[in-house]
Structures are given as C-alpha cells and as structure tokens.
C-alpha cells in the first residue's frame, strides 16, 4: 500500500494517507467484525500456528531450536504488517504543493504475534510468556533504532473491536516513524521550565497522596493518572528514570511481566472484559532529545465511544474520576 504523510496545518500534526486504494464501507472492521483470511471457502486465522504461509515472511521469532522460520514451533513471532503504509526504503522527502506539505511513507510497521494459539488472550498467558513478548519488543526496538532514518518507535496493542483491532488473535504492533509525534511534548516542556523529569515528579506526588495509586512493585508504580482521558485508564511507570523502553533490564522485565499477569485479568474482570488500547511511550531516537523523557505504559479501556466533543475540541470527557477508578482497580487486584 503506497502512502504519504500529510501535514495537518490546522492541528500541526501529520496524517497518514493511503494514496492507492479506497476501502468500501463494508471493508471497515467496525462493519464486518473480525477479519479472517479465506482459503478454499473456509475462514482461517493467519496468525495461528500452522498458517505461517498466509503471512508475510518472518522477521524474528522465539522458536524451538530445530524449527525453521515460517514454520510451526514458535512461541512469539514478528512479521511485517501485510497492509503497511510504510517502507524503510530511500530517504525522507518533503514535498510542497502550495501551502500544503507531504512526505513519503518512510518507516516500518511490524506485527508481534503473541501466541501460536487462537483464543488465548494476552491476560491468560503465564508470566514467562508475557516476558517473552516484552523481550521481543525490546529486541525489535533496538533493531529499528539502529536505522538512522527512524526517529520514533511506537509500540501499541489494540484488543477488541472498539479499540481498533481487526484480528481477534492476540498481537501487538510496532511502528517506526520518520518524525516524532507531539503527544508527549509536555515531558520536554516541563523539563525546560522546571529542570527536572515530569514523570519522576508525578511518581513522588502519587506515592505521597496515594489517592490514585493502584499498585506498587519493586520497579514500577500503577496509577490512574490525575487527568485521565478514559475511565479506568492506568499508567505503568518505571521507578528508575529511563528514557527508552529498550533500556529495561532483566529484573524489570520479570517485574513487569508479573505485574501484567496480575493486573490485566483483574482489570478485565472488574470492567466486564472491555476492548482496550495499550501503548508504550518512549523517547525519540537518532536525534538530540534534550532531557525530560521517561518511558511509561498506558492501558486505556474503551468503555464508551469517543464522541463529538473530543473530536472537535481535543478535550476528553471522563465520567469516572481517577480516584474512584484507582480504588476499584486496587480492590479487585488485591483480592
């Protein structure tokens, strides 16, 4: 799929536009449910073990010693996104057409298939398998960051139809971008103004007040953020000031896997199995970033559809205070 990035001059952001195809109304996931490949009239999931020939060629995998790429025998598998709008080819080229700006779709879009088994959710995996997933994400991060053309690496997971997932099989995605999105600009702004890390300051405040604290471990804090955009939104913040997710060490990986194994089933049970988005926010790569970056994770249950006021103003309306969300999640987690 050919694509280009176009500058939204009004909102001062980039939009990814597919330039060589147009989805019909019934092609969108919200209209057709889970997407599956059709083979000989039968619906099959391309992410299931044994269906490796229906995906793009394997980039990396954790697999049995005697198994070959693109065959069964794996536990976690990374492949290029079949419908990627990005290609890591050539150089970034900025074009102008009057007042409008665009650039080519330079980048990489990968899918990390988290389990060979269909119907096994991320939350159902044992802690050692969850750790494997984060190890794979770390390895892919380091590999992509080694390319000087990549400026930002976004790791995310869409689970459920209302979180934007088009495939039911448990998976995460990695997007290597040629520019830095503006979503976390408050981190660098706070550092410029105050001379210290905003997330480290937030950690201190949340530990002191304990109003929005969901859980503490040796290496991480789980909090419902003060200005939560979504009901029951939870952040996982490393205690150690670390700019890049890829700098996570083995002890922290063990701790993170144990946290996710405990928290995700509790959250899903507390909220009646919602769709959710999970994202890892991290520092830009291959450029002078200054100070203030501190990687963290966001888990956002999608309990209501984003409405006109959010679309129009960017002001999110959250009907559940984070203090109440934290208390409910904390009670469920500690039972």
- What pLDDT shows up at residue 315? 84
Q: DSSP string covering 192-247, please?
A: HHHSS-HHHHHHHHHHHH-SSEEEE-SSEEEE--TT-SSTT-EEEEESS--S-GGG
pLDDT digits (tens, 9 = 90+) for 168-204: 999 999 999 999 988 888 999 999 999 999 999 999 9
pLDDT at 39: 46
Catalytic residue numbers? Answer: 171
Would you say 187 and 202 are in contact if contact means Cβ atoms under 8 Å apart?
A: no
Whole-structure pTM value: 0.91
User: What is the reported pLDDT for 2?
Assistant: 60
Alpha-carbon torsion 249, 251, 254, 256, what sign? negative
- For residue 20, the model assigns a pLDDT of 65
Query: What pLDDT is stored for residue 118 in this prediction?
Result: 94
Pairing between β-strand 74-80 and β-strand 108-113 as defined by DSSP bridges: antiparallel
**Residue 316 to residues 104, 158, 159, 198, 307, Cα–Cα distance (Å):** 32, 20, 21, 21, 9
Contact status, residue 172 vs residue 133, Cβ threshold 8 Å: yes
The two counts, helices (H) then strands (E), for the chain are 7, 16
Q: What is the pLDDT of residue 316?
A: 86
Split the chain (335 residues) into runs of 10 and give each run's mean pLDDT.
74 76 58 47 83 95 93 97 88 92 92 96 97 98 97 96 89 94 88 94 96 97 95 97 96 98 96 96 91 94 88 86 95 88
What was the pLDDT predicted at 11? 72
Predicted confidence at residue 28, as pLDDT, reads 57
Which domains can be identified in the chain, with CATH numbers? 3-177 (3.30.428.10), 185-334 (3.30.428.10)
- pLDDT on residue 41: 47
Place of tokens 């089933």: 265
Q: What is the pLDDT of residue 27?
A: 58
135-175 pLDDT, tens per residue?
999 999 999 999 999 999 999 999 998 898 888 999 999 99
Residue 113: name the closest of 75, 161, 163, 67 by CA: 75
Helix (H) or strand (E) holding 20: none
CA 157 to chain centre: 4
């Amino acid at each position: 799929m050919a694509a280009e990035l176009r500058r939204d001059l009004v909102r001062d952001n980039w939009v990814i536009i597919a330039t060589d195809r147009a989805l019909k109304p019934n092609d969108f996931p919200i209209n057709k449910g889970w997407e599956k490949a059709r083979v000989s009239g039968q619906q099959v999931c391309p992410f299931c073990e044994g269906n490796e020939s229906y995906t793009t060629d394997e980039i990396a995998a954790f697999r049995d010693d005697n198994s070959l790429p693109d065959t069964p025998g794996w536990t976690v598998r990374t492949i290029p996104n079949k419908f990627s709008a990005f290609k890591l080819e050539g150089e970034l080229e900025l074009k102008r057409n009057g007042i409008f700006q665009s650039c080519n779709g330079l980048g990489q879009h990968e899918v990390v298939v988290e389990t060979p088994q269909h119907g096994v959710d991320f939350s159902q995996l044992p802690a050692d398998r969850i750790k494997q997933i984060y190890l794979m994400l770390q390895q892919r991060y380091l590999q992509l960051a080694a390319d000087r053309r990549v400026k930002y690496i976004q790791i995310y997971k869409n689970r459920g139809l209302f979180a934007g997932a088009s495939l039911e099989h448990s998976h995460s995605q990695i997007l290597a971008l040629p520019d830095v999105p503006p979503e976390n600009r408050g981190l660098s702004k706070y550092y410029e103004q105050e001379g210290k890390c905003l997330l480290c300051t937030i950690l201190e405040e949340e530990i002191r007040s304990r109003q929005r604290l969901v859980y503490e471990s040796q290496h991480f804090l789980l909090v419902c953020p003060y200005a939560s955009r979504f009901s029951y939104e939870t952040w996982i913040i490393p205690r150690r000031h670390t700019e890049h997710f890829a700098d996570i060490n083995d002890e922290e990986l063990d701790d993170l896997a144990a946290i996710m194994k405990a928290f995700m089933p509790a959250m899903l049970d507390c909220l009646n199995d919602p769709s959710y988005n999970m994202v890892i926010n991290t520092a830009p790569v291959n450029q002078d970033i200054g100070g203030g970056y501190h990687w963290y994770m966001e888990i956002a249950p999608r309990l209501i559809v984003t409405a006109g006021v959010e679309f129009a103003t960017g002001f999110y309306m959250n009907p559940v205070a984070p203090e109440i969300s934290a208390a409910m999640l904390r009670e469920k987690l500690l039972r």
